[in-house]
Structure 1
Amino acid sequence: MDVKAIREQFPILNQEINGHPLVYLDSSATSQKPVSVIKAVEDYYKQDNSNVHRGVHTLGTRATDKYEGAREKVRNFINASSTKEVIFTRGTTTSINTVAYSYARANLKEGDEIVVTPMEHHSNIIPWQQAAKATGANLKYLPLRPDGTIEMEDVKDTITDNTKIVAVMHVSNVLGTINPIKEIAAVAHQHGAVMMVDGAQSVPHMQVDVQDLDCDFYAFSGHKMCGPTGIGVLYGKRELLENMEPVEFGGEMIDFVNLYDSTWKELPWKFEGGTPIIAGAIGLGAAIDFLTDIGMDNIHDHEEQLIAYAMDRMKAFDGLTIYGPEQRAALITFNLTDVHPHDTATVLDAEGIAVRAGHHCAQPLMKWLEVTATARASFYLYNTPEDVDRLVEGLNKTKEYFGDVF
Structure 2
Amino acid sequence: MSNNLISANVVGATQTFESPFGRKVVCYADFTASGRAVQKIEDYIQKQVLPLYGNTHTTTSATGNQITAFRHEARHIIAEAVNAKLIDGPNGDSVIFSGSGSTVAINKLVSILGLVPKFGSSNAVIFIGPFEHHSNMLPWRESGAQIVNIPENEEGLVDTCFLERKLKEFAKSILKIGCFSAASNITGLLTDTNALSVLLHRYGALAIYDFASAAPHTVIDMNPVVEGEEKHLVYKDAIFFSGHKFIGGPGTPGVLVLKKKLFSKTSSTSQPGGGTVLYVTVKDHKYLDKNEDREEGGTPDIIGSIRLGLAFRLKQQTGPTEIMRIEREHVQRVRMSLKANKRIVLMGNQDLDQLPIFSFLIRFGNRFLHYNFVCALLNDLFGIQTRGGCACAGPYATSLLGINSSDTQLILKVLTEGLCAFKPGFTRFSLTYFMDDSEIDYILNAIHFVAEHGWKFLSSYRFSMYNATWKHVSELSNLTTRKSLCDLDMDVEISAGPEEDPERDCPASIDAHRIENIKMAHESADTCMRESIACNRGRTSMFNQDGPYPTLRWFLCPDEGLDEAIDEAEMNSLTHAIGPIHPERYRTQRIENNEEEDRVRSRDCYSLAESSMQVRPRRRIRTWISQFSNRIKNNFSSPLKASRHCCDRKACEHLHVK
What's the TM-score, normalizing by structure 1?
A: 0.93
- Please tell me the root mean square deviation across aligned C-alpha atoms, in Å: 2.0
Tell me, in whole angstroms, the C-alpha distance in 2 between the residues paired with 1:207 and 1:126. Answer: 27
SS of alignment partner, residue 207 of structure 2: strand
Listed as ranges, the matches of 1:182-201 within 5 Å are: 182-201=194-213
Aligned to 1:270: 294
Give the residue type in structure 2 aligned to 1:361: C
The answer to whether structure 1 residue 349 and structure 2 residue 358 are counterparts is no
Is this contact kept in 1: 2:55–2:67, CA < 8 A? Answer: yes
Aligned to 2:624: none
Tell me, in whole angstroms, the C-alpha distance in 2 between the residues paired with 1:296 and 1:252. Answer: 35
The answer to whether structure 1 residue 85 and structure 2 residue 85 are counterparts is no
Tell me, in whole angstroms, the C-alpha distance in 2 between the residues paired with 1:111 and 1:72. Answer: 36
Larger Rg: 2
- Cα–Cα, structure 1 residues 245 and 317, in superposed 2: closer, same or farther, change >3 Å? farther
The answer to whether structure 1 residue 377 and structure 2 residue 429 are counterparts is yes
Is this contact kept in 2: 1:27–1:380, CA < 8 A? Answer: yes
- Higher mean C-alpha displacement, 186-195 vs 240-249: 240-249
Tell me, in whole angstroms, the C-alpha distance in 1 between the residues paired with 2:4 and 2:358. Answer: 23
In the alignment of these two chains, the number of paired residues is 402
Is this contact kept in 2: 1:36–1:290, CA < 8 A? Answer: no
Q: 1:302 aligns with which of 326, 350, 366?
A: 326
The answer to whether structure 1 residue 53 and structure 2 residue 70 are counterparts is no
- Higher mean C-alpha displacement, 70-79 vs 296-305: 296-305
Aligned to 2:218: 206
Tell me, in whole angstroms, the C-alpha distance in 1 between the residues paired with 2:236 and 2:85. Answer: 13
Listed as ranges, the matches of 1:272-351 within 5 Å are: 272-325=296-349, 326=351, 327-337=353-363, 338-350=368-380, 351=382
Tell me, in whole angstroms, the C-alpha distance in 2 between the residues paired with 1:146 and 1:48. Answer: 56
The answer to whether structure 1 residue 247 and structure 2 residue 270 are counterparts is yes
What is the Cα deviation at residue 45 of structure 1?
A: 5.5
Tell me, in whole angstroms, the C-alpha distance in 2 between the residues paired with 1:291 and 1:112. Answer: 37
What is the Cα deviation at residue 30 of structure 1?
A: 0.3
What is the Cα deviation at residue 44 of structure 1?
A: 5.4
SS of alignment partner, residue 143 of structure 1: coil
Give the residue type in structure 1 aligned to 2:242: S
SS of alignment partner, residue 95 of structure 1: helix
What's the TM-score, normalizing by structure 2?
A: 0.59
Give the residue type in structure 2 aligned to 1:57: S
SS of alignment partner, residue 379 of structure 2: helix
The answer to whether structure 1 residue 155 and structure 2 residue 167 are counterparts is no
What is the Cα deviation at residue 54 of structure 1?
A: 2.2
Q: 1:395 aligns with which of 405, 424, 447?
A: 447
Aligned to 1:16: 16
Tell me, in whole angstroms, the C-alpha distance in 1 between the residues paired with 2:120 and 2:202. Answer: 18
The answer to whether structure 1 residue 138 and structure 2 residue 146 are counterparts is yes
The answer to whether structure 1 residue 218 and structure 2 residue 252 are counterparts is no
- Higher mean C-alpha displacement, 45-54 vs 145-154: 145-154
SS of alignment partner, residue 187 of structure 2: coil
Unaligned runs of 5+ in 1: none
Aligned to 2:537: none
Tell me, in whole angstroms, the C-alpha distance in 1 between the residues paired with 2:189 and 2:127. Answer: 18
What is the Cα deviation at residue 255 of structure 1?
A: 1.3
Give the residue type in structure 2 aligned to 1:380: T
Tell me, in whole angstroms, the C-alpha distance in 2 between the residues paired with 1:366 and 1:401. Answer: 24
Aligned to 2:106: 96
Tell me, in whole angstroms, the C-alpha distance in 2 between the residues paired with 1:50 and 1:286. Answer: 19
What is the Cα deviation at residue 261 of structure 1?
A: 2.5
Is this contact kept in 1: 2:71–2:306, CA < 8 A? Answer: yes
What is the Cα deviation at residue 147 of structure 1?
A: 4.7
Cα deviation digits, residues 41-64 of structure 1 (max 9, x gap): 323553111011225111110001
Is this contact kept in 2: 1:155–1:184, CA < 8 A? Answer: no
- Cα–Cα, structure 1 residues 360 and 345, in superposed 2: closer, same or farther, change >3 Å? same
SS of alignment partner, residue 315 of structure 2: helix
Q: Percent of counterpart pairs with the same letter? A: 23
The answer to whether structure 1 residue 232 and structure 2 residue 284 are counterparts is no
Is this contact kept in 1: 2:36–2:250, CA < 8 A? Answer: no
Which structure exhibits the higher relative contact order, with contacts defined as CA atoms closer than 8 Å and separated by 6 or more residues? Answer: 1
Tell me, in whole angstroms, the C-alpha distance in 2 between the residues paired with 1:401 and 1:300. Answer: 33
Tell me, in whole angstroms, the C-alpha distance in 1 between the residues paired with 2:251 and 2:63. Answer: 24
- Higher mean C-alpha displacement, 157-166 vs 88-97: 157-166
Aligned to 1:26: 30
Aligned to 2:115: 105
What is the Cα deviation at residue 361 of structure 1?
A: 0.6
Aligned to 2:599: none
What is the Cα deviation at residue 35 of structure 1?
A: 1.5
- Cα–Cα, structure 1 residues 147 and 340, in superposed 2: closer, same or farther, change >3 Å? farther
SS of alignment partner, residue 12 of structure 1: coil
SS of alignment partner, residue 115 of structure 1: strand
- Cα–Cα, structure 1 residues 355 and 146, in superposed 2: closer, same or farther, change >3 Å? farther
